[in-house]
Amino acid sequence: MSAAPISDFRSDTVTKPTPAMRRAMAEAEVGDDVYGEDPTIARLEARTAELLGFPAALFVPTGSMGNQIALRVHARPGTEVIVEARSHVFHYEMGAMAALSGLLPRPVFGPGGRMPEAEAEAWVRPESVYYLPRTSLVCLENTHNFAGGTVLPRAAVEEVLALARRKGLAVHVDGARLWNAAAALRVSEASLVAGVDSVMVCFSKGLRAPVGSAVAGSEAFVAEARRARKLFGGGMRQAGVLAAAALVALEDERGRLAEDHARLARLARELAGVRGVSVDPESFPTNILIVDLDARVWGSANDALGKLRTRGILAGAAGPASVRLVTHADVGDADVDRCVAAFRESAGMS
Ligand X SMILES: Cc1ncc(COP(=O)(O)O)c(C=O)c1O
Nearer to ligand X, 70 or 340 (CB): 70
Q: Of residues 151, 202, 209, 289, which one binds ligand X by CB under 6 A? A: 202
Among 41, 49, 176, 207, binds ligand X (CB under 6 A): 176
Among 79, 198, 213, 287, binds ligand X (CB under 6 A): 213
Letters for 58-97 (x = contact with ligand X by CB under 6 A, - = none) are ----xxx--x--------------------x---------
Helices 63-74 and 219-231 pack at an angle, to 10 degrees, of 120
Contact 57, 190 (CB under 8 A): no
2 secondary structure, DSSP code: P
Cβ 243 vs Cβ 38: under 8 Å? yes
Nearer to ligand X (CB atom), residue 65 or residue 340: 65
| Residue number, 48 or 67, with CB nearest to ligand X | 67
Site string for ligand X, 113-152 (x = CB under 6 A): ----------------------------x---x-------
In the complex with ligand X, the residue whose CB is nearer, 225 or 274, is 225
Before 143, cis peptide (omega within 30)? yes
Q: Which is nearer to ligand X, 61 or 116 (CB)?
A: 61
d(CA 265, CA 271): 10
Contact partners, residue 181, CB within 8 Å, separation at least 6: 142, 143, 151, 152, 175, 189, 192, 286
How far apart are alpha carbons 58 and 222 in whole angstroms?
A: 6
Binding site for ligand X (CB under 6 A): 62-64, 67, 88, 141, 145, 174, 176, 202, 204, 213
